Amino acid sequence: MPNDWLIDGNLIADFVKVRGDRTSYGAFVKGVGPGNRFMRNAVFREHRLRGAPGRRVGLSFGGGGTVPEVRRNHRCIVEHERGTMESNLVMSCSDVGINVTRAAQTRVILNTVIDTAGVLVRFPECDAVAAGNRVDGTILAKDVAGLEDGRNQTSWLSLAYFGIHPVRRLFENPEALGLRCASGDVPFETRGGFEPDLCGAARSNVTTYGAFADFRRRLDHRTSIP
């Protein structure tokens, strides 16, 4: 239940929960902890550990919820508030890449989400804005969640059933981390004020969708994969 933490520049991979509901999270914040930010993280379900059972979620505000005994002041109207997810790369999760559950005033901006079930915002306590994201899948609101869906690059869920992934096809070879844009990039106009992207490049008022403009730039050592 942290307050105002910056979770920045991490490589998160090989996270598996072998008991209970077998649903694991790369990272989450919940239990009424406000003002936390996930920035410039690289999240991979499987890197060295492959073939384990269960479901994996990338990044989450709210997680699977908090039991009353450990809630801050034993109150939990929302699981989180005033959170930001910006410039994260989330890949190869068997569940959603980004999850927002009972989290108010949440910003999900300029993330790249590939080979997951997309982005999910859930329950009426949610009040989320999603903009500038590049998602290989959908950005979906469920259970009366509030979602302001700005300009994002997404694809229809129905296409995935036929093995058609138009956003994934924007990249040269995503299965081998070939994440250079293969078909030319589309500018995303902003009001500025964003921090550098995942690869350390400054963002201007006209940037690109997703977590990075050019994945060929050398990543910080904390997010590089040996």
The pLDDT value recorded for residue 70 is 62
The pLDDT value recorded for residue 157 is 77
> How far is CA 48 from each of CA 53, 56, 89, 97, 209, rounded to the nearest angstrom?
15, 15, 18, 19, 29
Q: DSSP string spanning 108-121?
A: EES-EEESSS-EEE
pTM of the model: 0.88
Pairing of strands 103-104, 119-122: unpaired
Reported as a single tens digit per residue, the pLDDT across 131-179 is: 999 999 999 999 889 999 888 999 887 787 777 888 888 888 888 888 8
What is the Rg, in whole angstroms, of the alpha carbon atoms belonging to the chain? 17
Q: How far apart are CA 108 and CA 131, in angstroms?
A: 7
Reported as a single tens digit per residue, the pLDDT across 70-104 is: 666 666 678 889 999 999 999 988 889 999 999 99
pLDDT at residue 189 above 80?
Answer: no
The pLDDT value recorded for residue 42 is 93
The pLDDT value recorded for residue 202 is 86
pLDDT at residue 38 above 70?
Answer: yes
Backbone angles phi, psi at 170, to 5 degrees: -65, -20
Task: Indicate the range of 4-18, 101-115, 175-189, 192-206 predicted with least confidence.
Answer: 175-189
Q: Which residue has the higher pLDDT, 30 or 113?
A: 113
Reported as a single tens digit per residue, the pLDDT across 112-129 is: 999 998 999 999 989 899
Those residues with Cβ within 8 angstroms of residue 122's Cβ, 6 or more apart along the chain or in another chain: 62, 99, 100, 101, 102, 141, 142, 143, 145
Reported as a single tens digit per residue, the pLDDT across 3-14 is: 889 999 999 988
> How far is CA 6 from each of CA 37, 85, 122, rounded to the nearest angstrom?
5, 10, 23
pLDDT band at 110 (very low <50, low <70, confident <90, very high): very high
Given a contact cutoff of 8 angstroms between Cβ atoms, the answer to whether 191 and 35 are in contact is: no
